[in-house]
Structure formats: structure tokens, C-alpha cells
Structure 1
Amino acid sequence: MSLPGLKTLHKKPYHAIYPTRPELSQEGRTILITGGNSGIGFPIARSFVISKAKRGLKDYWIQVDTLVLSAASLGKNKPLLEAGRDEVWGDFETNTRAIIDFTTRFYGQEAQGIETRKALISLSTCVTYMRYYATDRPSYGIKKLAGTDYLQQLALEVSPKKMQISIFHPGIIFNELAAASGMDDTTYPWDDENLPGNFAVWAASHEAEFIHGPLVWAAWDVEELKTRIEDGVKKNPRFLMAGIKGLSTSVDGI
């Protein structure tokens, strides 16, 4: 799905987000990626390595410069009431509570006297607002929406100069999770896994400061996106943020 006003949708990496660009270099920075050994987290980790991020996190544990929240639970393939309280709440632990926990600890490094430019990257999903894509897993969109809404509220409270928050839908990626669900390379017109991988590196750079808060897609062209977001925010400060469709943000007439 494209954002009105954008002409270009990408299915594979392109020059503006190449991790080899000097402007996107992560040299000297330490990156922590949850779920970085599998799924979409793995190509993200690979892209950060290409961009010269530090290796051997255990040797640099006192300082994490970029946090990538990639780990997620897809939820149970059941109606909500059939899944029950404990199963539904268990997935909230991964998709919501873990986001709050990691984010709080990440930002809290400042209290330890560690003052570097922090970048927080969160993999969200279009299912937060396009629920018909996951009707078989109704709890998934609910929990991803909660985590996304938390980070978007935080972006209103924290300057990107202190902690830049980028939230994006990675695309439709074929990986081991998709294969385990019975899909194959012909099920969907899959996106290149390196698209979200490269996009995450770009999202950690100064160039991405303008997407601090809004939910964007890795497929959207970043050069076109800048103008579109700036125009949208002028009209509505909560442009591309969580809300209730059909209701105005205006208080006129109340």
C-alpha cells in the first residue's frame, strides 16, 4: 500500500538506503538487535555489519548506541476468546512489555553517564491498521498496535536529538517463519529481505530524523517521503500515528 503523494514503491534495496553509503556509516557504534539471529532480524544484523557497526556486544555492554526491536510473537491461530486470557496476555509480554522494558533500559543509559546519540528502531506491521491481513491471528495486530502506540507517544515526549525513534513495516518477507506456516516462494510477491535490512540502517542515521514517531513502510522511497511527511505534519501533528479511523483530531464543536 502506498502513501498518497508518493510515486515510488520499492521491493528491493536502492541507493539512498545502501549501508555502504558513508553518510549511513555505523562505524564505532554498538547495535543491539532483538531476534537478530533469525527472521527479518538477521538481514538487519547483516546490513549493520556491512555499515561497519561494532561487533562483540559483550565487550561493549556498557554502551548500546542503536536498539533494534525485531523480536515478535505472531500470536495464536485462534479467536481471542478461544485462545483465552493467558495465551493472549503471554503474547503481550513479547510484543508490548518487552518493547517497554528494552526501551526504558536503553534510554536509561543516560543516567549512567553514557551520552551518545541514541537510535531506536522498531519493526511494526501494517496489520496494526489493516487487520484483514491477519484475521486468523486476531491478537497479533492488537499487541503490535499497543507497542507502536507506546513508542509513538514516547516520540512526542523525547527529542530525536536524544533518542531518535523510527517505526516501520518491513514488508512481505519470505523466511523460516513463513515457511513453517506452509508458505513457499510463490505464495506472495515477496519483498527482498535486504530491503528492511538496509532501511533499518538508514533509519538509524541522522537522515531519518524526520520519521521520528510516524509509522512508515520500508517500501516507501525515503527521498519522496521526507516532503510528504513534512507536509502531513504541518496539517496534523499526529500524521501517520495510531488513532481511531473516522474521528477528527480537531476539538472544534465539543
Structure 2
Amino acid sequence: MARERDGVTGVAEGVYRLHKAGVNCYLVVAGDGMTLIDAGVPGTWPLLERALGEVRARASDIDAVILTHGHFDHVGLSRRLADEHGVESHIHPADALLAQHPYRYAHESPRWLYPFRHPGGIPILAAMAAAGAFGVKGITPVVDVVPTQPLEVPGGLVPVWSPGHTNGHCGFHLVDRGILFSGDALVTLDPYTGRTGPRVVARAATADASTALVSLQNLGATEATLVLPGHGRPYEGDVRRAVKDALRQKVA
């Protein structure tokens, strides 16, 4: 399958998907303000400006960045938003150190082997590199994301505990709308292999695959009907079906 073109897509009312180099982040526009879920790679910035332009807003109008986890390809805009626009990033305590050092992450398998074993991931990783993924600066986040406790940010997001990919990974649930931002706990594109469909990210970037597979049950318990992952296209339909599909896949 050809790599999806970069762009901005409205995926639900007031929810914009910014997809750059196989990486997604999401702008949520609510009546009481705006929240950015994950911060992509540095090359996502023009897409963020485009999405903001559609709602006649500026970067400084964003109330908060909520991070599913601290990997480099999810905090790419966080430093710029903080330094230039005063927008803080929020994360679970177990991923706070990772957000400060976004390349120092635990992984079960050697990363250098994957281009040889899974050449389908090469174009994606190359696109990420071109989008600045390997020059991301860490941040000092606000450490206040607590599973099941609604966040005091526009949109009323509820954190969903989903460790495994990282130690402090959380998805975010828009309960009233049945929308789940699954981060990298459940994706529809594995950037390390190029494989598509619901799955857990390869061991090259996952700290504990066994825990990640168990965490899928927490995502399924939300009973969301629209899943917006950190990598890959949105999944429309019962999240429990996506979880079943992911559990059938061998983690690469």
C-alpha cells in the first residue's frame, strides 16, 4: 500500500487529524477552547497552522498539549509551542523523564535490524527523518495526567491507562462522543514494518509487548466507535473489534 499523503483531515466535528510522515496528532476544537493531542514531528508545524487557520485561530490560542507518551515522534512541536506560544504539554508521571529525553526509550528488539527484516518500514522512517523526527528537543512537561480522572482541558478528555508501548502511555477518551485517541497503544500502521490494520507497534519501539497486549483490554472497555491512532488511518467501528484484530497479530 502506498504511503498516505500528508495533510489535515476533519475526522469528526471539531476534530482535525494532522498526519505527517506516518505520524498523527489531533487538534480538538471545543466550545471552551482547543487541545492538541500529541505533538507529532517538527515538520507537522505547517499542518497545525493550516488547521488553526480553518478555525481562525493561532498557535497561542491552544490551551494545552496532551501527550499519550513521550517518544520523539509525539513531542516534536512541544518545545516550540512552549517557547514561542506559552502552551504547556501534559503527560503521565511515568513518561515525564522520557518526554525530557525522547530518544532514551526502552525497546525489546534492536532497532537496526528492522530495515533488513521489514523493508516496508523504510519509506516511513525515511519520511519521518525528513520531517525532523531525529532532531526533536525534549521538554519539561506538566505531570498531571491520571487514568480515569477527566482532564481540565477543552473537550473533557478522560485518560485511559494503556502502558506497554511506554511505561506511562495513556489514551484519551471523549466519552460523550465515543472517540478514542489511542496513541501508540493501538495503531493501524506500524512505522517499523509498514504493516497496516489494528496492531501493537513493533518491539523496536515498544518497551513491553506483553503489557501492551494486555492494555488493549482497557481501550476496548471504552466501547468507542471511532479510534484515532498515533500512526495510521482512523478506525471507524467498535473498538472491541479492533482490539480483537490486534490480538490476532504477532508483534513484530
Larger radius of gyration: 1
TM-score (norm 1): 0.35
TM-score (norm 2): 0.35
From the two aligned structures, give the one with the greater strand fraction: 2
Higher relative contact order (CA 8 A, sep 6+): 1
